Amino acid sequence: MATAAHHGDREIGTAVPRRKPSVLVADDQPHILDALELLLEPEGFRMEKARSPFMVLEALKSGSYDALLIDLNYTRDTTSGKEGLDLLTQIKAHDSQMPVIVMTAWANVEVAVEAMRRGAQDFIQKPWDNARLLSILRTQIDLHHAVRRAQRLEAENRLLRAQNLPELIATAPAMQPVLATIARIGPSDANVLITGEHGTGKEVVAQMLHALSARASRSLVAVNTGALPEGTFESELFGHVKGAFTDARTERIGRFELADGGTLFLDEIANVPMRQQAKLLRVLETGEMERVGSSKTRRVDARLISATNADLRAEVEAGRFRGDLLFRLNTVEIHLPPLRERREDIPPLAAHFLARHVQRYRKQVQGIDSGAVQAMLQHSWPGNVRELDHTIERAVLMARGTQIEAVDLGLSAARVSNQGLEEMSLEAVESILIRKALSRSNGNVSQAAEALGLSRGALYRRMEKYGI
């Protein structure tokens, strides 16, 4: 909604800022600066002076301006405009949207064209016409503010409409702190560590953080580090050049470069080998990396979101994870509670998955009966939300009528009670044993793998196979 403020006898709309617009004026001649100050200050501008390109760049580091008015020549008897053009390029590199008006005593069409090509908004010839100079300044400042306002509104509307956001169903009290943190830090560039048991929805949270950020138009690149063999880890993340190793027949771009300007999501971060942790830390600290087999340093700008179901602090104490890397990863930490601690979300989550799988498989299933809902509410869900998703998918396929019944869910407790071990397949027994091991370890994959005599990687592969 537009608002208005009174300034003297004039009513000013939001196109004009309430505070005095700030203009940085750069010229090597003191009398020029004084003359412009006498013109601008009474007209409601706040003016700052700079005598050289160096002073302009220093002022931009510490100050904020609505427009810049810069001379094109700063050395006596110089008329080429090169100093001003180079300064203009540096200003635009600092802030591409900053309105810059250039001025020179030597009317030169070629220099004017070059200044406009490099991003100048307009061109003033000395001696200037006061009315024209004031008009240009006001127009460019108003336009600049309008563009900035439009960008802010677009960002706010994206948040309000939640366009392209993944659906995070979270009505349980245990999830409210999670939602509040996502809303606060999503628009930032802060590194985030998402913790929680396997299948709690860590990737969905990463997608939400990315969608709420200014990087939403760029890629979200996801990597499951738990599934990467140690030998290919570095190549996957940083890329390699042709001939870097025996199988490197072509050049490869790594995930960090693919995520440049966007977000890199490293799932199961606890699985990164110690030797590779130092290289990951270096990229986070410097923004620099090299492809395997190359000495060329590349700069990358990727926001890092990582996730784990392990206790990284315990891993640090055990000497398996670098403390300085953990410090870099968890600028903000979000902990996702397991599904058994947010049982209020089971019915709406089940309904959400039902709608998705009914559409996918074109089944005439319209709902879930009360017995099936009760069975879901009583189940321990060691595989959390992911297990619920796969359970509903199976139920949609198995359902004989228009309602999903408890027997359609195929939950392990029901299967064991209704069927002897000797009547079950090896896969069914293995699936039950894995669920029980996960339940006993409260979803800790490392502990469950140890109890089952499997490696973490082998257990992950089986969990994926059985939809746990």
Residue 392 pLDDT > 50? yes
- Residue 419: is its pLDDT beyond 50? no
Q: What is the pLDDT of residues 326-351, one digit of tens each?
A: 999 999 999 999 999 999 999 999 99
Residues 177 and 110 in one domain: no
Contact 116, 123 (CB under 8 A): yes
Highest mean pLDDT among 5-19, 22-36, 68-82, 87-101: 22-36
Task: Answer whether residue 163 is part of any domain.
Answer: no
CA separation for the pair 382, 173 (Å, rounded): 20
Provide mean pLDDT across the span 411-428. 57
CATH number at residue 410: 1.10.8.60
The reply to whether 255 and 142 lie within a common domain is: no
Mean pLDDT of the 451-466 span: 80
Percent of the chain with pLDDT over 70: 87
165 within domain boundaries: no
| Same domain, residue pair 287 and 359 | no
How many residues are listed for the chain in this entry? 468
Residue with tokens 């403020």: 5
Examine the pLDDT at 54 and tell me if it is beyond 60.
Answer: yes
Predicted confidence band of residue 10 (pLDDT cuts 50, 70, 90): very low
Q: At 305, which helix (H) or strand (E)?
A: strand 303-308
**Residue 140 maps to a domain:** yes
Residues 128 and 178 in one domain: no
Q: Sign (positive/negative) of CA torsion 147, 152, 153, 157?
A: positive
Q: Is residue 161 part of a domain?
A: no
Please write the tens of the pLDDT for every residue from 347-373: 999 999 999 999 999 888 989 998 899
Task: Answer with the one of 154, 183, 198 that is the final residue of a domain.
Answer: 154
The answer to which of 172-186, 245-259, 392-406 has the lowest mean pLDDT is 245-259
Judged against a pLDDT cut of 90, whether residue 324 lies above it is answered with yes
**The two structure tokens encoding residue 49:** 């002076």
Residue type present at position 385: V
pLDDT at residue 422, as a whole number: 57
CATH number for 62: 3.40.50.2300
pLDDT of residue 76: 74
Whether the per-residue pLDDT at 104 is higher than 70: the answer is yes
Q: Among residues 320, 337, 354, which one ends one of the domains?
A: 337
Residues 39 and 139 in one domain: yes
Determine, yes or no, domain membership for 162. Answer: no
Number of domains, the chain: 3
Q: How confident is the model at residue 110, as a pLDDT?
A: 76
**242 CA to centre of own chain:** 31
Q: Which residue has tokens 């509307």?
A: 157
Same domain, 184 and 61: no
- End-to-end, the C-alpha distance of the chain in Å comes to 50
For 147-192, write each residue's pLDDT tens digit. 777 666 655 555 454 445 667 888 899 999 999 999 999 999 999 9
Nearest to 54 by CA among 37, 34, 75: 75
Do residues 272 and 225 lie in contact, with contact meaning Cβ atoms separated by under 8 Å? yes
**Residue 429 pLDDT class (50, 70, 90 cuts):** confident
- Tokens 């409601």 identify what position? 44
Same domain, residue pair 187 and 106 = no
Per-residue pLDDT, 416: 43
Note down the domain range covering 447.
Answer: 340-466
Between 250 and 56, where is the model more confident?
56
* pLDDT at position 441: 80
On whether residue 166 sits in a domain, the answer given is: no
Q: Are 104 and 81 in contact (CB under 8 A)?
A: yes
| Per-residue model confidence (pLDDT) at position 73 | 85
Residue 79 lies in a domain: yes
The single-letter code of the amino acid at 216 is: A
Domain CATH number, residue 309: 3.40.50.300
Do residues 321 and 357 both lie within one domain? no
Q: Is the dihedral of CA 398, 404, 405, 406 positive or negative?
A: positive
Answer yes or no: is 100 within a domain: yes
In a shared domain, residues 258 and 329: yes
What are the angstrom distances between the C-alpha of 53 and each of 49, 129, 332? 11, 24, 40
Distance CA 409, CA 394 (A): 7
The residue-averaged pLDDT of 379-395 equals 92
Nearest-angstrom CA–CA distance, 359 and 342: 27
The C-alpha atoms of residue 85 and residue 102 are separated, in whole angstroms, by 9
Tokens 């009360």 belong to 370
* Sign of torsion over alpha carbons 326, 225, 452, 202: positive
Looking at residue 423, its pLDDT comes to 58
pLDDT band at 412 (very low <50, low <70, confident <90, very high): low
- Does 205 or 437 have the greater pLDDT score? 205
Give how far Cα 80 sits from Cα of 77, 115, 133, Å.
10, 12, 23
Question: What is the percent of the chain where pLDDT is above 90?
Answer: 41
Specify whether 385 is located in the same domain as 352: yes
Closest alpha carbon to 387 in 456, 340, 335: 340
Cis amide prior to 53 (ω within 30 degrees): no
When pLDDT is averaged across residues 254-261 and rounded to a whole number, the result is 90
Query: E strands of 249-406, at which residues?
Result: 252-253, 263-267, 288-289, 298-299, 303-308, 332-335, 367-368, 403-404
- Residues 299-315, mean pLDDT to the nearest whole number: 93
Q: Do 217 and 243 fall within a single domain?
A: yes
Confidence check: pLDDT of 98 > 70: yes
Q: Are residues 10 and 134 in the same domain?
A: yes
Q: Looking at 88, 122, 154, which one is the last position of a domain?
A: 154
